[in-house]
Amino acid sequence: MEWTDEGIVLGVKRHGETSVILELMTLAHGRHLGLVRGGAGSRMRGVMQPGNTLRASWRARLDEHLGHYAVEGLNLRAGGFLPAAHAVHGVTHLAALCRLLAEREPHAAIYHALEEILGRLDDPRIAAAMIARFELDFLAELGFGLDLSSCAATGVTSELVYVSPRSGRAVSRAAGEPYRDRLMRLPVFLQTGAEPQTPADLADAFALTGFFLDRHAFAPRGLDLPEARAHFVAALSRVAQ
């Protein structure tokens, strides 16, 4: 078995004295692991940093085997993340999300979204909005997408400013006002693609996506939300001050 694909580095784990197990989010083969001989050496260390994009050739005798990777760098962007705390934590959080996906199942939309985010991760305001939208899309990829297209109570499509924590559906301002203390705020930028107007918009967005990620993705697996996510949000708040 053999193939060549593009992949984003999610992480590496030492294996023996000189090798590592490399975890990639690939374009056509999903989240995929493989052994890199000599990967623990200094020559390869900078190539296999989380967030870098590589060209990877995988080979194994049988498809179910771990197999071996031969890799070369395509976009070694990870070094540029080191001076910015939000970027370092953002990459770690994105990798934690991808690990919720079953191994070797293609998710091309997720791959392309990761590439876009990583390309803008140097700008905290832009990256924050992109990651909040990514979390919404990720929930949909897992089969738990929120319905933000119309009001759950009245069916109207305008003035959707709340989300029901029970149903995951949008609620209009008029219908939700009597129950506002029991509803979650829906920032406009999550619906329109516009930029968030205030730090409160981002805080509301991450509160919303975090609630449903915890309920549908992490808690059922006996996991907590990644610490890197909280560190990412905290780093954003420091930048905004």
| CATH value at residue 28 | 2.40.50.140
HSE at residue 81, side-chain half, CA atoms within 13 A, is: 23
- Final residue before a domain boundary, out of 57, 76, 95: 76
pLDDT at 175: 97
Q: pLDDT grade, residue 240 (50/70/90)?
A: low
Residues 32 and 72 in one domain: yes
- Look at residue 229 and tell me if it is in a domain: yes
Number of domains observed in the structure of the chain: 2
Cα–Cα nearest to 15, from 39, 50, 31, 51: 39
Predicted confidence (pLDDT) per residue in 174-192, tens digit:
999 999 999 999 999 998 8
Same domain, 226 and 134: yes
**Which of 76, 97, 131 marks a domain boundary?**
76
Q: Could you list the residue range(s) of the whole structural domain that residue 132 is in?
A: 81-148+186-240
Last residue of a domain, one of 35, 61, 76: 76
Pairing relationship of beta strands 2-15 and 53-59 according to DSSP bridges: antiparallel
The pLDDT tens digits for 77-132 are: 999 999 999 999 999 999 999 999 999 999 999 999 999 999 999 999 899 999 99
Three-class SS string for 183-240?
Answer: CEECCCHHHHCCCCCCHHHHHHHHHHHHHHHHHHHHHHHCCCCCHHHHHHHHHHHHHH
* 87, 142: one domain: yes
Count CB neighbours of 236 within 10 A. 23
Residue 103 and residue 213 in one domain: yes
pTM of the predicted model, to two decimals? 0.94
